């Protein structure tokens, strides 16, 4: 059982300008139940080319979760449910293998 660090970004606003704080709160609750916690890494901004070719510049909350790599599908399901409740085309997820974590 190998531990991985998963980093993902959740947008502050949907593509139509709607505030997504409620949807992010649901994700935070699910992460707490499934993985015993999460870490807010700060705000990040980035650009994404939409399928129609337009540029979208978004501000996101960046999160990190430590989990066993066998549980990655559970995290992906949480992020897919979030995405399905929005007009987002994609959610950024980075998986860092061979990460050692200690709670002291």
- pLDDT per position as a tens digit, 13-66: 998 999 999 999 999 999 999 999 999 999 999 999 989 999 989 999 999 999
CA 76 – CA 59 distance, rounded (Å): 21
Cα-only R_g, the chain:
14
Determine the average pLDDT of the residues in 96-100.
Answer: 87
Query: What pLDDT does residue 42 have?
Result: 98
Fold of 3-91: Alpha-Beta Plaits (3.30.70)
Query: What pLDDT does residue 2 have?
Result: 87
Tens digit of each residue's pLDDT (9 = 90 or more) over 67-82: 999 999 999 999 999 9
pTM of the model: 0.91
Cβ atoms within 10 Å, residue 13:
14
């Amino acid at each position: 059982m190998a531990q991985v660090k998963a980093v993902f970004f959740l947008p502050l606003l949907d593509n139509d300008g709607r505030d997504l704080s409620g949807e992010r709160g649901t994700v935070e609750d699910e992460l707490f139940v499934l993985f015993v916690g999460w870490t807010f890494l700060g705000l990040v901004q980035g650009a994404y080319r939409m399928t129609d070719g337009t540029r979208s510049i978004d501000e996101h909350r960046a999160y990190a979760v430590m989990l066993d790599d066998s549980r990655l599908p559970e995290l992906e399901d949480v992020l897919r449910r979030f995405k399905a409740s929005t007009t987002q085309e994609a959610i950024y997820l980075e998986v860092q293998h061979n990460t050692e974590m200690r709670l002291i």
